[in-house]
């Protein structure tokens, strides 16, 4: 139930999971390595930026590594790759990048995915 709530569009509309068309959906899972001791702060900045409403974004989940709290994982689901690419130009995303840049030590694994559907 919590995951479905996380996937609810920011405009408050409810999308029935059987109405989601997965053809063309784009997924991305990436690791951001924070400067030591800055993982929680960087994660908070990423969460703030996702609250601004990003057109075409179906899910944006920020997670912190259990064994390494300075390892931040972002799981994204977009209506299309173009929607993801366009999001980088949004003022809120640019502001988050500027705000968090000094806390980023590097990047780890980055995997593009093709979401196929929801289980359950």
Tell me which of 3 and 50 has the higher pLDDT.
50
Q: Note the pLDDT of residue 45.
A: 93
92-105 pLDDT, tens per residue?
889 888 999 999 99
Question: What is the reported pTM?
Answer: 0.80
Instruction: Please state the three-class secondary structure of 22-78 as a single string.
Output: CCCCEEEEEEEEECCCCHHHHHHHHHHHHCCCCCCEEEEEEEECCCCCCEEEEEEEE
Tell me which of 59 and 6 has the higher pLDDT.
59
Q: What is the mean pLDDT of residues 19-24?
A: 72
40-55 pLDDT, tens per residue?
999 999 998 776 678 9
* Residues 6+ positions from 15 with CB-CB distance below 8 Å: 7, 8, 9
């Amino acid at each position: 139930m919590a995951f479905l709530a996380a996937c609810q569009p920011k405009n408050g509309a409810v999308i029935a999971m059987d109405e989601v068309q997965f053809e063309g959906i784009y997924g991305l899972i990436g690791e951001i390595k924070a400067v030591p001791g800055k993982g929680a702060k960087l994660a908070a900045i990423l969460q703030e930026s996702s609250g601004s409403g990003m057109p075409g974004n179906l899910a944006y989940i920020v997670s912190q590594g259990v064994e390494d709290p300075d390892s931040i994982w972002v799981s994204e689901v977009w209506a299309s790759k173009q929607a993801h690419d366009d999001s980088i130009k949004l003022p809120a995303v640019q502001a988050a990048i500027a705000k968090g840049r000094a806390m980023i030590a590097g990047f780890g694994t980055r995997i593009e995915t093709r979401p196929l559907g929801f289980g359950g």
